[in-house]
Amino acid sequence: MSHALQSTRTAPRSALDADAVRAAYRRWAGVYDAVFGGVSAFGRRRAAAAVNQLPGKRVLEVGVGTGLALLHYVSEKRITGIDLSEEMLARARERVAEDGLANVEALQEMDAEATCFADASFDIAVAMFVASVVPNPRRLLAEMRRVVRPGGHILLVNHFAAERGPRWWAERALAPASRALGWHPDFTMDALFAPGEPRTWQTEAVPPFGLFTLLKLGN
């Protein structure tokens, strides 16, 4: 489904910074797969499948975490993964070694909002459950656009806040705990785009219960 929309909804106020994210995922690293691996599995597989169908071999996975998606890329894709948490990356490196993932070329500790890559280094950039984690989502998207070649592709899979109903209340009740959780429960799509910025994308609901959304943008 294609969308070109303007919304008046405001982005959530950030309670996160890089240190808060590092601290949160230092706590989560040992149990992340058990706690979040199941509920996020559909989104990761859907995003990896979408990457596999796109042209180009050079793929940047932003916020690779413990490497839960790495097994799902076809061998022709050459994967570079980055994450702000060294503890999460350590588990990802173990996973690459255990599963013999020869197409994973690098796993690096790096700030997703300010990477060290040259312009147009990749054909595809994908961020899975990252947009609501970083302190400045617009910088994240701008950086993904910078490192992807013109004509390449950007994909994000994420939870976006409900507009109404019981989930709306639950998400906003959890919002003050953003810093401790390490992500924004009340994250909205508006947080990714500057006011007045043209927004043309494709969206796809992802199980379970459409809780997550796969967002596809051309670069």
CATH number at residue 206: 3.40.50.150
Rounded CA-CA distance 124/43 in Å is 17
Query: Into how many domains does the chain fold?
Result: 1
DSSP category for residue 108: E
Res. 62 pLDDT band, cuts 50 70 90:
very high
pLDDT digits (tens, 9 = 90+) for 165-194: 444 434 444 344 334 434 445 577 788 888
Q: Which of 11-20, 65-74, 83-92, 114-123 has the lowest mean pLDDT?
A: 11-20
Top-confidence residue, 16 or 97: 97
Query: H/E element holding 2?
Result: strand 2-4
Calculated CA dihedral for residues 163, 168, 171, 175, nearest 10 degrees: 80
Res. 43 pLDDT band, cuts 50 70 90:
confident
Top-confidence residue, 111 or 197: 111
Calculated CA dihedral for residues 29, 187, 160, 116, nearest 10 degrees: -60
Rounded CA-CA distance 18/167 in Å is 27
As beta bridge partners, residue 159 has 212
* 11-20, 86-95, 97-106, range with greatest mean pLDDT: 97-106
- Burial profile 24-44: b = 16 or more Cβ within 10 angstroms, e = fewer: bbeebbeebbeeeeeebebbb
pLDDT digits (tens, 9 = 90+) for 122-172: 999 999 989 888 889 999 999 999 999 999 999 999 887 545 444 443 444
- What domain range is 158 assigned to? 2-218
Rounded CA-CA distance 68/211 in Å is 19
pLDDT digits (tens, 9 = 90+) for 87-97: 889 999 999 99
